[in-house]
Chains A and B, each alone.
Chain A
Amino acid sequence: MDWHQLWVIISAPDNVPIVGLIPLLCFYIYLAWKQAKGNDDLIAELEADPAMAKTHHRKTWPFKPGWQKEVHVWPFLLRIEFLAAIIITIILMVWSITLNAPLEEPANPNLTMNPSKAPWYFLGLQEMLVYFDPWIAGVVMPTLIIVGLMIIPYVDTNPLGSGYYTWKQRKFAISTFLFGFIVLWISMIIIGTFIRGPGWQWFWPGQTWDHNRQIYEVNRDLPDLFGIASNAGKMIFGALVVGGYFVLGGLGVYSLFRRYMAKDFKRMSLVQFSMTQVFLLIMLALPLKMILRLAWHIKYVWITPWFNV
């Protein structure tokens, strides 16, 4: 176990935000979960006791005579926000005093740094380059992410769970968000920061980042595994596999929606549902592709003269 190496990675000024990110993320998930749990319990209670629902107000507290039904933003919200602003200011000031900008040597086009890493917030994109062609990872995927985020309000037909924490009322939305944010974004940043060493090789935490490390890996294309040699064959095979994924996946999503979210599903138009379905499947395809690559060294599934997936 190379503690020194681990310390070098963790203590790099560049990596401080990511080191801070992990406990913060855990804490806020826990906090949200606690709030959601309280609300869910309250919802259950109020649904069981409609009389109480009429008098109950605000949060998880039950009704109490003399309490105001609503409170003003000023001062009751703003005083807390202002306190937060002071604390954030303190943190930022201490941070800027103690850690200077990590200024490095003048750029030398003949000698690029290794590993050469994107800023931390782009490490997820950089990590995707391992699994996809540059134009897919760098252009198509980011576009789809943005478009996907934009359509959320248009496909969200669930009227509940807005303005308060809840899990029971928005299971699908929350789990999709957590999947997209934590699995697809944060974890890739963490991999990019702590795992990827010289040569963008995979180093487990505690392994020495040795510039001279040599590893043996052969990546194959999925059609090769099935002995398909011709280009046309590869193209057709890949199209079938990808098409199959979307057909089978679509059927799966359809039956899951029907079974577990019948109400929402009924409220959805065909366009809304199909959009949801397509984006969900594309989102799921990303980790699938990563697993194929990391576990079975499969480079491409679908090979065409124009693009490879």
Chain B
Amino acid sequence: MPERPIPENDPIVNKSYAMHYLIATLILMVTLLWAMWDEGWGQRPWKSYQGEFKTRYLAFLKTARTKSATSVDEVKKNPEYASLQQNYEGTSAQAKSRLEELRKQVSELSGRILAVQNVFTDRRAYVNALTYELETGSSASAKQSKQKDIDNYKAELATVNYPDGSKKKFNYQQLEEEYNKLRGERVKVNAEVAEALKPLTESKAKLDAYVTDHMVDLTPQQIAGLQRKTEDWDPKIVQLNVAEANIVDRCESCHMGIRESVKLTAAAMEAKGAKKPDEYAKAFTSHPSAELMNAHDPEKFGCTSCHQGNGRATTSVEKAHGNYEHWLWPLFTKQNMEAGCQTCHAADAMLMAGDSGAIITEGKFLYRQRGCMGCHRYEGYDKEPEELQSVNQQLKLADQQKRENVKQSAYLMKQADSAGSNEEANSLNDKAVALRVANSKIDGRVQQLDFQSHNLMQDMKKIGPNLKEVRLKLNRNWIPVWLKKPTDFRPTTKMPNFRLTDGQIQAISAYLWQSGLKDELPKQKAGNAGHGRELFETRGCLACHSMGESSEMQGGTFAANLTRVGEKANYDYLVRWIHNARERTRPYCPYEKKDIGPEDYAKKGKPFVFDLEHSTCPNDGHEMQVQNMTVMPSLRLSLEDAQDIASYLMTMKKQEPTAYADAAFMEDGALQAEGKKWIRHYGCAGCHEISGMEDEGRIGTELTFEGSKPIERLDFALFTDAAQRGGKEPIGNAEDLARLPEGPSKGPWYNHKGFFEHKLAEPELYDKGMVKTETEALRMPNVHLAKEEVRALSTFLQGSQELGLPASYQYRPMDAKRDIQEGWWIVQKYNCQGCHQFTPSQATTLMGMKKYQDPDWKEQLPPKLLTEGARVDPEWMRKFLTNPSLSTADTNRNGVRPYLKVRMPTFTFSDNELRKLVRFFQALSQQPMPYIPQQVPTLTAKETDMARSLFSSNAAPCLKCHATGDAQHDQHATAPNFLLAKERLKPDWAERWIRDPQAISPGTSMPSGLFKQDGDHWVFAGPTPASFEGYDKDQSKLLVDYIFQLSPEEQRRVAGAKGRSHAVNAPPSKPGRSTAPIRAKGPGPGVENSHASGGAAR
């Protein structure tokens, strides 16, 4: 203390705090201003967006206005516009004098009204005030005196000074009458004005509409409207509120251009002088897909139900987009935008709207096609096994019930025999009878269930081949080599790489080999490989299968690449497979859970015959699996053809089958138990049929709602930190790294997208660095997907969410749209789109092949099915799909188009799938169901003659291209036989078709312009005989009616009369060549056009 100098004056009393206060107060003021700024702008960044939008949009509109003004001038130069203009000017001149007069009247009246009104309202107010006093008067006398005042006042005369200087006096009542009278007059005159204006406004509207209709963009008026709207804009939150779905989306507070009526691009919204579109410019663009916006009205769906993100947040871009830790539904990234479709469209197989939908559709397709559903359940995928299981369960219960009933009824009968009284015996008897009746009801139910399981078993397919038949099918020594790494043998295979150890491979192959069926296959004769190759390349095998590797590859990726099939396959089996892939060695009875062999049939004294008609088990009478569960159809080839193709395929190899190292361990019984363990562990039975594993469940986690799984439940294992902080990319393998859709991670990837994409690129990633035993290691195999495929699947999974949206937002149509929805699943299941076109934009596999680029081969492409539903009778279609040869005897052919080398295969669809497919085609062409066939009127003899003359006209030689059933002619025919038309086609379609085939199937070789419109009906374009004089009906209809009544004899007659000289003379060389002379000569006058070249034979 003594060290410190003691101040003279008391420091507490004398110290000044002025400076402290000054500084503190200044800081406080600054903070206050800061708080106000924060409140106004800091927390409301959308304000600066709106300000920026205003300036940029106005600048844009200004330039757009000058542009549109010039184009308006162009429109105005049109003579049509000039005439409208003239019309407008004429009417306006006419109406002018009358209008002026009326307007003068109105203004005069208004002046008078105003004069009366001034006096009247003043007096009325006084009367009202007096009336109030009268009403609230305390005594009768007071009331009386008030009433007197009122009456006196009302009687007083008031002077009205009219605008023209005249004066008039009125009492109250007269004043009121005068006022009402004047007003009534004005209304009348105004109505007259409107009447007079009517022609004027009408012609003006016509004039304006003409400009609007003939302008691609907006008119200057519209743009001026937009400008006004934008100029008057005050910053405010723009909000979509859908109470029904609890959606509150404020996205448009920043994205102000998203629904503007002009198309805004980032480039158009650039700041003045900017080189690159900045953040604002990108935010101000219009929605890229008008189709999607039309289908999903933002007023109903908001933004976040498709895009996700935090619709309510307005404080920052990150918050609004939901890209922060605590928001569970962040905005889908641009690359995975279509994930949003899946949230409501999970039940659709095909999602296409404009340019959108390809990625999510691909994802859905891959999920099935790559066998993901073999391990991972997903609502709607591969549901047949589950349904079958429930059917079998019910069958078991019914059986049990029946047995019990029988027992019980026998017991009751016995009791009745020994009953004391008659009544008692009768009642017991009745009960026993009731039980027997119940049993017959159960029988009916069992029959239903059996039928259901028959269908289900027919529909049930496995992604991988049946492994019960490995012994019959495969080169034993090849199996372990394949299992080691399937992609080494066949780079494009669907079989994923399982990272098996050698021990596991040995055990698994040993089990498969030893559990395989040991039946003998019939020996097959060797075939002609050269002919086999030709068949293989032309019959349509390549729509699904491919041949050749990497750049050499030709054909589809739906089924296996067969470049090295000769190394692994057994010839005898291959012949049977090609002949009919659905043919099984032994049927499988799911009730007994065993493969039924000849011995079982023999026991019952039955022949060993099983097919779809003989599908019940000899032991218990229940439905059996009598088909291979493959989607591979039968091409209805003869056995010789099958032998030829198999012989050709057996030559497809890089090394001799004998070159594989001997795998004697596969006969070692000791390995069986371990093999079974590993097969079960890896869930092989999810994709393959394996003995003893028919009822194995799926081993993977269900993925139906994987996209909304809490991120904490996704195990990033040792890479949690790397993912959260964006550390080094953990995938080291260059091949796997190349699978990441957006390349190695550049920042944090701790989200669903990051997890899915890393997992799909390298499934073992989350095992890396962990110490795990063989059974603990992750089982997910490497599906060796390409980058785009990973993106598609990741998009699919990200969209697999359990949403908070009401159920009504899920797309579950009940009408024809549902038929389309269901149909696509089947179309994709059997790869129909490998050969056929269903939508104009979709390309088939065959169309893309080298061979079919040749114009002659283009003719050989399978028909397009763009309007198939409108064209064919649904009942006929069902028949055709059941048996495309349309014949029970001669099946080795195409039923409708015998001239096509490509063969429409028999898919043996179940009744269930047939029904769905037929409905699908009808719905796709907007045809009503059920279809009631149209009656075709019977032609008179004269009409028949006339029609025949058309049919056989030189100008339209129908029978030149259309098949007739004559083998020699049909060899060169390029169109279906007319005799099929009656059953197959819908008459109204056929008429539309012959009038303008190009409109229905662009590129068809059916000539257009056969008929031309003459007045209100259609007449033949070529020369017609004299009998047509005075015929005033549609000649096209006449021809169609004739064709629908064509009998084989009639056709033969016409064909004979015409002679088959063209066809016979044609050089029979390459397929499709026969069309060449027809094209060279041309079908005749009026038909001479270029339509005959190229396109599908139609």
A residues contacting B by CB (< 8 A) are 4, 38, 41-42, 45, 58, 60-62, 64, 66-68, 71, 76, 79-80, 83, 86-87, 89-90, 93-94, 97, 103-106, 108, 111, 114, 208, 210-212
Contacting A at CB under 8 A, from B5-57, are 6, 8-10, 12-13, 17, 20-21, 24-25, 27-28, 31-32, 34-35, 38, 42
Whether the pair A93, B32 counts as a contact (CB closer than 8 A) is yes
Chain B: which residue is nearest A45 at the CB level?
Answer: B1
Are B17 and A83 closer than 8 Å at their CB atoms?
A: yes
Contact: B720 with A93, CB < 8 Å? no
Contact between A111 and B28 (Cβ–Cβ < 8 Å)?
no
Are B17 and A104 in contact, with the CB atoms below 8 A? no
10 A-B pairs (CB sep. < 8 Å): A66-B10, A80-B17, A86-B28, A89-B31, A90-B27, A97-B35, A111-B712, A111-B713, A114-B712, A212-B720
Q: Does B327 contact A (CB under 8 A)?
A: yes
Please measure, in the bound complex, the distance between the C-alpha atom of A64 and the C-alpha atom of B10, giving whole angstroms.
Answer: 8
Given A60-B1, A83-B17, A90-B24, check contact A210 B9 (CB 8 Å). Answer: no
Distance, CA A180 to CA B17, complexed state (A): 37
Since A71-B10, A211-B720, A212-B717 are in contact, a sample of 17 more A-B pairs with Cβ atoms closer than 8 Å, ordered by chain A residue number, is: A4-B725, A62-B6, A66-B9, A66-B10, A79-B17, A80-B17, A83-B21, A87-B24, A90-B31, A93-B32, A93-B35, A97-B34, A97-B35, A105-B326, A108-B710, A114-B712, A210-B720
Considering the chains assembled together, what is the distance between the CA atoms of A102 and B494 in angstroms?
Answer: 48
Contact of B326 (CB < 8 Å), options: A42, A67, A68, A104: A104
For B358, the chain A residues whose CB sits under 8 A away are: none
Bound Cα distance from A66 to B12, whole angstroms: 13
Asked if residues A42 and B328 are in contact (CB atoms below 8 Å), the reply is no
Task: Please give me the residue from chain B that is nearest to A87 by CB atom.
Answer: B24
CA of A103 to CA of B325, assembled, Å: 10
**Would you call B718 an interface residue if the criterion is a C-beta within 8 Å of the partner chain's C-beta atoms?**
yes
Assess whether B386 is interfacial by the CB under 8 Å rule.
no
Q: Is B424 interfacial (CB 8 A cutoff)? A: no
* A86 contacts across to B, CB distance below 8 A: 21, 24-25, 28
- Tell me, in angstroms, the Cα distance from A274 to B328 when the chains sit together: 58
CB proximity of B858 to chain A, nearest CB, Å:
58
In the complex, the answer to whether A83 meets B24 with C-beta atoms within 8 Å is yes
Q: Is the CB of B721 within 8 A of A83?
A: no
Cβ of B720: which chain A residues have Cβ within 8 Å of it? 210-212
The reply to whether B10 and A67 contact each other, CB–CB distance below 8 Å, is yes
Known contacts A94-B31, A108-B710, A211-B720; A68 and B6 CB within 8 A of each other: no
Q: Which residues of A contact B17 (CB under 8 A)?
A: 79-80, 83
Interface residues on B, range: 20 to 34
- Interface set, chain B 445-495, CB cutoff 8 A to A: none
Roughly how many angstroms separate A279 CA and B969 CA in the complex, as a whole number?
Answer: 116
Q: Measured between C-beta atoms, what is the minimum distance from A189 to chain B in Å?
A: 24
Chain A residues in 8 Å Cβ range of B25: 86
Give the complex CA separation of A130 and B558 in angstroms.
60
A281 to B1, CA, bound (A): 40
Question: By DSSP majority rule, is chain A's interface helix, strand, loop, or mixed?
Answer: loop
Instruction: Decide: B28 and A208 in contact? CB cutoff 8 A.
Output: no
Which residues of the partner chain B approach A104 to less than 8 Å between Cβ atoms? Answer: 326
With A60-B1, A212-B720 already in contact, the answer to whether A68 and B28 are too (CB < 8 A) is no
In chain B, positions 681-726 with a C-beta closer than 8 Å to chain A are 710, 712-713, 717-718, 720-721, 725
Q: Would B13 and A68 count as touching, CB distance under 8 A?
A: yes
**Bound Cα distance A210, B724 (Å):** 12
Q: Are A71 and B12 in contact (CB under 8 A)?
A: yes
Which B residues are CB-close (under 8 A) to A61? 6
Chain A residues contacting B6 (CB-CB under 8 Å) are: 61-62, 64
* Closest Cβ neighbor of A113 among chain B residues: B712
Chain B's closest residue to A94 (CB) is B31
A104 to B325, CA, bound (A): 8
Instruction: Give Cα distance in the complex from A66 to B710, angstroms.
Output: 75
Contact indicator A41/B1 (Cβ below 8 Å):
yes
- Neighbouring B residues of A45 by C-beta, 8 Å: 1
Nearest CB of chain A from residue B106's CB, rounded to whole Å: 62
Among A38, A87, A97, the most chain B Cβ lie within 10 Å of the Cβ of: A97
Give the most central of B8, B32, B712: most A CB within 10 Å: B712
- Contact partner of B721 (CB less than 8 A), chosen from A38, A68, A208, is A208
Contacts of B27 in A (CB 8 A): 90
Could you tell me the distance between the alpha carbons of A42 and B28 in the complex, rounded to whole angstroms? 39
CA distance A61 to B643 in the complex (A): 119
Residues of A close to B32: CB separation below 8 A: 93
Bound form: Cα–Cα A4–B726 in Å? 12
Task: Tell me which of B28, B328, B721 contacts A105 (CB under 8 A).
Answer: B328
Bound: A274/B873 CA distance, A: 105
Within 8 Å CB of B24, what residues of A?
Answer: 83, 86-87, 90
Q: A83-B24, A90-B24, A90-B28 are in contact. Are A103 and B326 (CB under 8 A)?
A: yes
A114 to chain B: closest residue by CB: B712
- Take A90-B31, A212-B720 as given contacts and tell me if A38 and B13 are in contact as well, using a CB distance cutoff of 8 Å: no
Query: CA A80 – CA B25 in complex, angstroms?
Result: 14
Chain B residues whose CB sits within 8 angstroms of the CB of A68 once the complex forms: 10, 13
Report chain B residues within 8 Å CB of A97: 31, 34-35, 38, 42
Cβ–Cβ < 8 Å partners of A80 in chain B: 17
Q: In the bound complex, what is the Cα–Cα distance between A2 and B718 (angstroms)?
A: 16
B13 touches A71 (CB 8 A): yes
B718-A212 in contact (CB<8A): yes
Query: Which of these, B20, B34, B328, B725, contacts A83 with CB under 8 Å?
Result: B20
Q: How far is the CB of B37 from chain A (nearest CB, A)?
A: 9
Across chains A and B, which 4 residue pairs bring their CB atoms closest together, nearest first? A67-B10, A105-B326, A86-B24, A104-B326
By beta carbon, the residue of chain A nearest B717 is A212
Q: Which residues of B contact A42 (CB under 8 A)?
A: 1
Task: Report A-chain residues with C-beta under 8 Å of the C-beta of B10.
Answer: 64, 66-68, 71
Which residues does chain A contribute within 8 Å of B35, judged by CB atoms? 93, 97
Q: Which residue of A lies closest to B14 (CB)?
A: A67
Please name the residue on chain A nearest to B37 by beta carbon: A97
A103 to B35, CA, bound (A): 21
Most buried by B among A42, A105, A108: A105
A103 vs B324: C-alpha distance when bound (angstroms): 11
Chain A residues, CB < 8 A from B20: 83
Q: Which residues of A contact B31 (CB under 8 A)?
A: 89-90, 93-94, 97
Q: A26 CA to B35 CA in the complex, in Å?
A: 31
Cα A303 to Cα B716 with chains together (Å): 42
Q: How far is the CA of A60 from the CA of B2 in the complex (A)?
A: 10
Q: How far is the CA of A58 from the CA of B1 in the complex (A)?
A: 14
Chain A residues with CB under 8 A of B712: 111, 114
Known: A4-B725, A86-B25, A105-B326. A76 touches B13 (CB 8 A): yes
- As a 0/1 sequence over residues 312 to 330 of chain B, the CB contacts with chain A under 8 angstroms (1 = contact) are 0000000000000011100
Set of chain A residues within 8 Å of B13, measured between Cβ atoms: 67-68, 71, 76
A108 CB contacts on chain B under 8 angstroms: 710
Per the 8 Å Cβ criterion, residues 703-755 of B in contact with A are 710, 712-713, 717-718, 720-721, 725
Q: Using Cβ atoms and an 8 Å threshold, which residues of chain B touch A66?
A: 9-10
Decide: A76 and B12 in contact? CB cutoff 8 A.
Answer: yes
Chain B contacts for A76, CB-based, 8 A? 12-13
Known: A83-B20, A212-B717. A89 touches B9 (CB 8 A): no
A58 to B10 alpha-carbon distance, docked (Å): 11
Q: Is the CB of A62 within 8 A of B717?
A: no
- Cα–Cα, bound, A38→B1 (Å): 8
Complex Cα–Cα for A175 and B645 (A): 99
Within the assembled complex, what's the spacing in Å between the Cα atoms of A105 and B27? 36
Chain B 556-588 interface residues, beta-carbon cutoff 8 Å to A: none
- Give chain A nearest CB distance to B769 CB in angstroms: 11
Given the complex, which residues of A lie within 8 Å of B710, measured CB to CB?
108, 111
**Are B327 and A105 in contact (CB-based, < 8 A)?**
yes
Residues of A within 8 A of B326 (CB): 103-105
Task: Kindly state the separation between the CA atoms of A261 and B17 in the bound complex, as whole angstroms.
Answer: 44
Q: Are A62 and B1 in contact (CB under 8 A)?
A: yes
CB-CB under 8 A from A105, the residues of chain B are 326-328
How far does the alpha carbon of A94 sit from the alpha carbon of B712 in the complex, in Å? 34
Which residues of the partner chain B approach A106 to less than 8 Å between Cβ atoms?
A: 328
